[in-house]
Structure 1
Amino acid sequence: MVEWFEDLKVGMRFRSEAVTVSKDDIFRFAREYDPQPFHLDEEAAKKSILGGLAASGWHTAAIAMRLAASCKPFGPHPLFGAGVDELRWLKPVRPGDAIHLEGELVELVPSRSKPHGVARVKWTAYNQNGEAVYTFNPIAIVPSRPK
């Protein structure tokens, strides 16, 4: 069981449950945060490079964040971050897609002066067909075991 930075091991893997993205979800997020025609209008979306209605990339990122938090990769500790590297949108997320997240712990760097370490999990979001739709590699701050 993971409780502290010292409990983590490179190579650990995490997998979330799936969440299904509805057309209403896409419209709701786009209206509030990314009001572009290809996220708000099916006809406009068909004429865009997306070739049809698709979730905003930021909607996909928000879904991935929720799924990462639900995995609890750092045990009881929240997911504090210092940034994100290698964020990529690989494939559009469409209405009806069921998205789940898989992650692998790829790097651990203990702090020499702070009571925490940095953990890097390479996360990939997949649709119901096993196609990668999004990747990101956050720089996470994880508390160390109290001395």
Structure 2
Amino acid sequence: MIYFEDIAPGQTQSFGSYEVTKEEVLEFAEKFDPQPFHLSEEAAAKTHFGRLAASGWHTCAMTMRMLVENMSVVEQAGLGSPGIDNLRWLKPVYPGDVLRCETEVLEKRRSRSKANIGLFKSRVRVFNQDDVMVLEMVSNGLIRVRDPDAPIES
């Protein structure tokens, strides 16, 4: 089990493999982001996408799936997230793409009000099968502290 004390700025991980399917792109778009370039090859062909493209929010959902699958392999004492910073969709994601993640811990700190909780920021980058970065964000994570009675460093 990985706790706050086990995380260090500079740590990196590479993981995940998520194949994007046309059916999933259409299903997600129909339900959550029904814009023409996410729903129709013909409509998408008339845009800068050139062809059917996944919603950026769908790309976030696929990223989350890879993050959670990785957390189940490398079990963490995670407590969720208060949000993300600086989300950028850098390139379109298309059916047939295979996505993967790279993360880097940027910083960490203990909660001053709740001694059993630590917070950490990680840069998350998502790449397609051609090693083209398609998404970048900073994730804010909450994680249990192994020893809540240890002094909080200033």
Q: TM-score range by the shorter chain?
A: over 0.9
Give the whole-Å Cα distance in 1 for the aligned partners of 2:36 and 2:104: 36
Segment of structure 1 superposing worse, 117-126 or 12-21: 12-21
Q: Is the 8 A contact 1:15 1:71 kept in 2?
A: no
Which residue does the alignment assign to 1:21?
Answer: 20
Which residue does the alignment assign to 1:95?
Answer: 95
- In structure 2, stretches of 5+ residues that fail to align are 150-154
Cα-Cα RMSD: 1.6
String of CA shifts for 1:40-86, please: whole Å, max 9, x gaps.
10000010222211000000000001111122297333461111101
Considering only CA atoms, is the larger Rg found in Structure 1 or Structure 2?
Answer: 2
Question: Could you say if the C-alpha distance between residues 79 and 145 of structure 1 is closer, same or farther in structure 2, counting changes exceeding 3 Å?
Answer: closer
- What is the TM-score when the length of structure 2 is the normalising length? 0.89
Which residue does the alignment assign to 1:32?
Answer: 31
Give the whole-Å Cα distance in 2 for the aligned partners of 1:79 and 1:92: 31
Q: CA deviation at 1:27?
A: 0.6
Q: CA deviation at 1:110?
A: 1.3
Which residue does the alignment assign to 2:83?
Answer: 83
Q: SS of the residue aligned with 2:121?
A: strand
Give the whole-Å Cα distance in 1 for the aligned partners of 2:59 and 2:78: 20
Q: CA deviation at 1:11?
A: 1.1
Give the whole-Å Cα distance in 2 for the aligned partners of 1:77 and 1:63: 22
Question: Could you say if the C-alpha distance between residues 135 and 79 of structure 1 is closer, same or farther in structure 2, counting changes exceeding 3 Å?
Answer: farther
Give the whole-Å Cα distance in 2 for the aligned partners of 1:41 and 1:99: 22
Q: Is the 8 A contact 1:13 1:103 kept in 2?
A: yes
Which residue does the alignment assign to 1:56?
Answer: 55
Segment of structure 1 superposing worse, 68-77 or 135-144: 68-77
Which residue does the alignment assign to 2:117?
Answer: 116
- What is the TM-score when the length of structure 1 is the normalising length? 0.93
- In structure 1, stretches of 5+ residues that fail to align are none
Q: SS of the residue aligned with 2:130?
A: coil
Question: Could you say if the C-alpha distance between residues 78 and 66 of structure 1 is closer, same or farther in structure 2, counting changes exceeding 3 Å?
Answer: farther
